[in-house]
Amino acid sequence: MLVYLKIFRYNPEAGRSTPSFDTYNIEAQPTDRVLDLLEHVKGHVDGTLSFRRSCAHGVCGSDAMRINGRNMLACKVLVKDVGNEITVEPILGLPVLKDMIVDMEPFFDSYKAVMPYLVNDEVPADGKERLQSPEQRERFDDTTKCIMCAACTTSCPVYWADDQYVGPAAIVNAHRFIFDSRDQAGGERLKILSDHGGVFRCRTAFNCTEACPREIHVTQAIAEVKQAITG
Amino acid sequence: MASSASPLKTTATGYATYQGREGHYAFLLHRLTGLGVLLFLIIHILDTSTVYFYPELYEHAIALYRSTPFMLGEIGLVFAVIYHGVNGLRIAVTDLWMPKRWAIQTQRNAVRITLAISVLLWAPAALWMTYNMLLHNHGINLLPFIGTH
């Protein structure tokens, strides 16, 4: 099938300081991924095209982009699922550096702000490991699946408008530790998330849950953190 | 050098072009109806205040409210109030008591049901207001068997 591919281009170092679109007609299979099309353009048509990708199998989370207006991982979406007219743009709400590459630092700053690591200074009872029941592990299982692709955060209307909001991904990663029975800094994280840029900025637009390539119940996790704060 | 759009531009781009699902459009409609009601409230406070300061102006404002464009706006206002309230209830009930219902298929259905309930609640008022507007502004009686008042 012939695919009409429209790609966002921005490269101030090469004189393309005004964002614009390039279009390509590419012969593709319905089962090709959008990432395959981008690789084809970069490898055979225009080597200056820039985008992030690493594992190319939906695990590393580097190739989140807007495909036909919706956040997706380019390596997980097939041509047959988006049709033969495909528009590819960078994710919204983070500064664009070049083509599909955005500056992820503000996103990682929000992530770091919620203390996304286990805090427990006590020596385990047996001196070796902290035991956890299957039920205790199940409590935060869903939010362990996050791959930090930023598809959720950059689909959030509140995040587009307010860069003080930590965004869904940071809350998901806080949830992962807040509800971990082994962790001791839940109160501190809840305090951080009850501030101005915390969970109560969420307006439940639900784009985050729809966009998550790992099918995490993002809005549910945010609601659970809200409940933990309000007690 | 990074291309960093202002939050306003990013928001406008996102609102206008992001291809979200039901939740996205429910959010946009919620915001639009909320701003619409707020705008009406501001205008209403201003025109009511003229009763005290400029009584003649108040009479003029009331006459304006009786004009067809304003009455059409009021029919829209009723929808805005109803939708904003019903959708607000959906969000509050789910967020406060049923967080597990923040699931994709459940919410897609919930948004559709919210819209249906809003339209059902709005329809009687909209029909009655339309009837009165046509009768009093244009002399058209859609329900001649119930007479005029």
Å from A124 to nearest chain B CA? 33
Q: How many CB pairs under 8 A join A and B?
A: 101
Q: Which residue has the tokens 């409210």?
A: B65
With an 8 Å Cβ cutoff, are A223 and B102 in contact? Answer: yes
What is the rounded distance in angstroms from the CA atom of residue A1 to the CA atom of residue A27? Answer: 6
In the DSSP assignment, the letter for residue A72 is: E
Domain spans in chain B, listed from the N-terminal domain onward:
22-139
What is the rounded distance in angstroms from the CA atom of residue A40 to the CA atom of residue A147? Answer: 25
Print burial letters for A76-90: b (CB count within 10 Å at least 16), e (below 16).
Answer: bbebeebeeebbbbb
Residues of chain B contacting A227 with CB distance shorter than 8 Å: 96, 99
Interface test with B, best of A206, A207, A214 (most B CBs within 10 A): A206
What is the rounded distance in angstroms from the CA atom of residue A15 to the CA atom of residue A50? Answer: 15
Task: Name the fold adopted by B22-139.
Answer: 3 helical TM bundles of succinate and fumarate reductases (1.20.1300)
Confidence of residue B96 (pLDDT cuts 50, 70, 90): very high
Largest CA distance in chain B: 72
DSSP H helical ranges for B98-139: 104-138
Q: What's the CATH code, domain A105-230?
A: 1.10.1060.10
With an 8 Å Cβ cutoff, are B3 and A19 in contact? Answer: yes
What is the rounded distance in angstroms from the CA atom of residue A38 to the CA atom of residue A120? Answer: 45
With an 8 Å Cβ cutoff, are A70 and B103 in contact? Answer: no
Q: Residue B7 is nearest to which of A19, A162, A210, comparing CB atoms?
A: A162
Nearest residue of A to residue B108, measured between CA atoms: A206
pLDDT by residue (tens digit) across A45-55? Answer: 999 999 999 99
pLDDT by residue (tens digit) across A135-159? Answer: 999 999 999 999 999 999 999 999 9
Taking domain A2-102, whether its CATH number is 3.10.20.30 is answered by yes
pLDDT by residue (tens digit) across A115-124? Answer: 999 999 999 9
Å from A201 to nearest chain B CA? 13
Q: Which residue has the tokens 């009687």?
A: B124
Question: How many angstroms separate the Cα of A42 from the Cα of each of A18, A53, B42, B44, B88?
Answer: 20, 12, 55, 59, 47
- Give this complex's ipTM: 0.91
Confidence of residue A200 (pLDDT cuts 50, 70, 90): very high
Residues of chain A contacting B96 with CB distance shorter than 8 Å: 227
pLDDT by residue (tens digit) across B38-92? Answer: 999 999 999 999 988 888 899 988 898 899 999 999 999 999 999 999 999 999 9
Could you count the other beta carbons within 10 Å of the beta carbon of residue A18?
9
Q: Are B78 and B122 contacting, i.e. CB atoms less than 8 angstroms apart?
A: yes
Q: Residue B11 is nearest to which of A161, A206, A209, comparing CB atoms?
A: A161
The first and second tokens of residue A173, run together, are: 């990663």
Domain spans in chain A, listed from the N-terminal domain onward:
2-102, 105-230
Q: Residue B1 is nearest to which of A12, A68, A161, comparing CB atoms?
A: A12
Is the Cβ of A205 closer than 8 Å to some Cβ of chain B? yes
With a cut of 80, say whether residue B146 has pLDDT above it: no
Question: How many angstroms separate the Cα of A21 from the Cα of each of A16, A18, A98, A207, B50?
Answer: 11, 10, 13, 25, 54
pLDDT of residue A30: 97
